[in-house]
């Protein structure tokens, strides 16, 4: 197979990504938003110019009708899609590294209450909106909507809290703990959607079986995962002192992702679980005796690979957006209403934090969907459970909630900043 089209594509995209990140930094916005908009622009311009590659990415069904002369475009799109999927797996793996099973056990009922309301309230509001607007949607579509609106970007919220030096506050602990639980609940919903889409049917027994499988998988991870990860790290550190800390976490992430897919769950469920059970800490075999030498962590070692593949995923999601749908009046109305549902639902969730925490700050911290919401959107698009119009509307929701959160968090903590800095 000729790799020339793919190599040229990656060259152009990587240069464009670096330029867009510079613009994002200048505008003080998360780079993920710039990469998403870049994907939308490149994808639609490519389709307008008539390039088969972009037509296939925007509409995968077009691959079947691709003439033999454009077979190279089909192969390039397949490889590009695979790179994007790997980017999604690494994203969720990194999100899992932000927390741990031990941390999830320690956050207590306060974070669990916030997370539960943070899933139910946005979905209930969006479901009512669909009924009022007579928006026809399958059961799988409604569950996918619930999963997307329940997501919370741990990375974006943690970054803002760290910049504000409020990570040691009770509100921050509740936000980060609830965000992790939210993502777990969203991933369970996504697993149910995947099973329904795969079997092209729906039944109460099917949902019960999928939920049972997901609960068993998460339970096994909580009970055995940390032990397996610790022993594996120790073993492979001895076998490969130079690269063990880099290769074993990757093997664990891909292995858990394969296991999750094998039992009917989404691969990103397994990747997230792998991040939870792997302790992101220094490995003695990779450090020197110099006291001021920076510690080597799993996140640090995997960062270069993630910085390459994660933007590919965001570009891929953006390339699937047809601007004609975004500019449609009904799609914009859906986007506006779902954005309101997404924000109000998380603010209501903040009320569950109780009186011992700033409930408004907690609610605002739960608002951004960010990269996690984009991963959910990418999976749902691949499963075919959402229409082009709904996909475009939810993309606007992810964009809007991610943009407004940093300034709102700064406002919420304006009189509560401390000089204490801890790690999430």
Say yes or no to pLDDT of 184 above 80: no
Helices 204-220 and 267-277: crossing angle in degrees, nearest 10, is 30
Mean pLDDT value across residues 132-142: 77
What does the pLDDT look like over 222-246, one tens digit per residue?
677 777 777 777 787 777 777 777 7
DSSP label at residue 413: T
Summary count for the chain: helices (H), strands (E): 19, 0
Measure the CA–CA gap between 413 and 424, rounded to whole angstroms. 17
Say yes or no to pLDDT of 401 above 80: yes
Buried b (16+ CB within 10 A) or exposed e, 41-77: bbbbebbeeebbbbbbbbebebbeebeeebebbbbbb
Q: Name, in order, each residue with C-beta under 8 angstroms of 251's C-beta and a sequence gap of 6 or more.
A: none
Q: Name, in order, each residue with C-beta under 8 angstroms of 291's C-beta and a sequence gap of 6 or more.
A: none
418: pLDDT confidence band, cut at 50, 70 and 90? very low
Give this prediction's pTM: 0.73
Q: Can you give 284-321 as a three-state secondary structure string?
A: HHHCCCCCCCCCCCHHHHHHHHHHHHHHHHHHHHHHCC
Say yes or no to pLDDT of 159 above 50: yes
Let me know: does 258 contact 267? Beta carbons within 8 Å: yes
Query: Phi and psi of 418, rounded to 5°?
Result: -125, 165
What does the pLDDT look like over 263-303, one tens digit per residue?
767 777 788 788 878 765 434 444 444 444 445 677 787 88
154: pLDDT confidence band, cut at 50, 70 and 90? low
Let me know: does 312 contact 13? Beta carbons within 8 Å: yes
Q: Please state, in angstroms and as integers, the Cα–Cα distance from residue 144 to each residue in 92, 225, 257, 332, following that order.
A: 17, 27, 20, 19
Mean pLDDT value across residues 172-178: 78
Measure the CA–CA gap between 9 and 190, rounded to whole angstroms. 31
Let me know: does 258 contact 270? Beta carbons within 8 Å: yes
Let me know: does 352 contact 363? Beta carbons within 8 Å: no
What does the pLDDT look like over 304-327, one tens digit per residue?
888 898 889 888 888 888 888 878
Structure token pair of residue 377: 């959107």
Measure the CA–CA gap between 143 and 379, rounded to whole angstroms. 13
Query: Phi and psi of 380, rounded to 5°?
Result: -65, -40
DSSP label at residue 278: S
343: pLDDT confidence band, cut at 50, 70 and 90? very high
Mean pLDDT value across residues 142-156: 77
Measure the CA–CA gap between 129 and 334, rounded to whole angstroms. 9
424: pLDDT confidence band, cut at 50, 70 and 90? very low
Say yes or no to pLDDT of 423 above 70: no
Let me know: does 256 contact 271? Beta carbons within 8 Å: yes
Say yes or no to pLDDT of 216 above 60: yes
DSSP label at residue 225: I
Please name the helix (run of DSSP H) or strand (run of DSSP E) that holds residue 81, with its range, or none: helix 71-97
Measure the CA–CA gap between 16 and 323, rounded to whole angstroms. 20
Q: What CATH number has the domain spanning 99-286+317-412?
A: 1.20.1530.20
Q: What is the pLDDT of residue 62?
A: 58
- With CA atoms as reference, report the closest residue to 339 among 401, 388, 390, 391: 401
Residue 319, exposed/middle/buried by CB under 10 A (0-12, 13-18, 19+)? buried
Considering the chain, tell me which residue range(s) the CATH 1.20.1530.20 domain(s) occupy: 99-286+317-412
Angle at 174 between CA 171 and CA 177, to 5 degrees: 145
Mean pLDDT value across residues 110-120: 85
Let me know: does 397 contact 369? Beta carbons within 8 Å: yes
> Mapping DSSP to helix (H, G, I), strand (E, B) and coil, where does residue 151 land?
coil
Question: Which DSSP string do the residues of 159-224 spell out, in sequence order?
Answer: HHHHHHT-TTSHHHHHHHHHHHHHHHHHHHHHHHHHHHHHHT---HHHHHHHHHHHHHHHHHIIII
Q: What is the pLDDT of residue 287?
A: 41
End-to-end CA distance of the chain: 45
What does the pLDDT look like over 74-111, one tens digit per residue?
888 889 989 988 988 888 788 777 666 666 666 567 78
Mean pLDDT of the chain: 78
């Amino acid at each position: 197979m000729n790799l020339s089209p793919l190599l040229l594509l990656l060259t152009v995209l990587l240069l464009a990504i670096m330029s867009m990140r510079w613009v994002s930094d200048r505008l003080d916005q998360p780079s993920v938003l710039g990469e998403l908009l870049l994907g939308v622009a490149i994808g639609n311009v490519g389709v307008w110019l008539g390039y088969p590659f972009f037509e296939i990415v925007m509409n995968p069904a077009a691959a079947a009708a691709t003439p033999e002369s454009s077979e190279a475009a089909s192969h390039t799109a397949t490889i590009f899609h695979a790179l994007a999927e790997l980017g999604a797996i690494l994203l969720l793996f990194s999100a899992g590294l932000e927390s741990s099973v031990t941390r999830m056990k320690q956050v207590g009922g306060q974070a669990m209450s916030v997370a539960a309301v943070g899933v139910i309230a946005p979905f209930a509001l969006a479901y009512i909106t669909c009924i009022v607007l007579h928006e026809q949607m399958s059961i799988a579509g409604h569950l996918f909507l619930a999963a997307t609106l329940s997501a919370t970007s741990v990375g974006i919220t943690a970054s803002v809290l760290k910049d504000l030096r409020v990570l040691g506050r009770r509100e921050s602990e509740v936000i980060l703990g609830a965000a992790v639980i939210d993502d777990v609940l969203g991933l369970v919903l996504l697993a149910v959607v995947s099973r329904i889409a795969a079997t092209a049917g729906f039944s109460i027994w099917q949902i019960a079986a999928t939920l049972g499988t997901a609960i068993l998988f998460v339970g096994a991870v909580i009970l055995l995962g940390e032990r397996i990860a610790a022993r594996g790290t120790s073993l492979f550190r001895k076998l490969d002192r130079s690269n063990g800390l880099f290769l074993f976490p990757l093997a664990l992430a891909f292995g858990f992702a394969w296991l999750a897919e094998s039992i009917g769950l989404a691969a990103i469920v397994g990747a997230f679980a792998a991040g939870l059970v792997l302790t992101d800490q220094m490995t003695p075999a990779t450090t020197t005796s110099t006291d001021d030498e920076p510690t080597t962590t799993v996140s640090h070692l995997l960062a270069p690979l993630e910085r390459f593949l994660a933007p590919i995923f965001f570009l891929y999601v953006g390339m699937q957006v047809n601007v004609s749908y975004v500019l449609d009046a009904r799609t914009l109305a859906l986007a506006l209403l779902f954005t309101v549902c997404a924000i109000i639902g998380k603010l209501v969730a903040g009320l569950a934090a109780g009186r011992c925490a700033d409930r408004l700050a907690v609610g605002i911290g739960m608002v951004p969907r960010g990269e996690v919401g984009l991963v959910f959107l990418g999976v749902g698009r691949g499963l075919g459970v959402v229409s082009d119009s709904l996909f475009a509307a939810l993309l606007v929701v992810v964009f809007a909630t991610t943009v407004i959160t940093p300034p709102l968090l700064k406002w919420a903590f304006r009189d509560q900043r401390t000089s204490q800095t801890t790690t999430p």
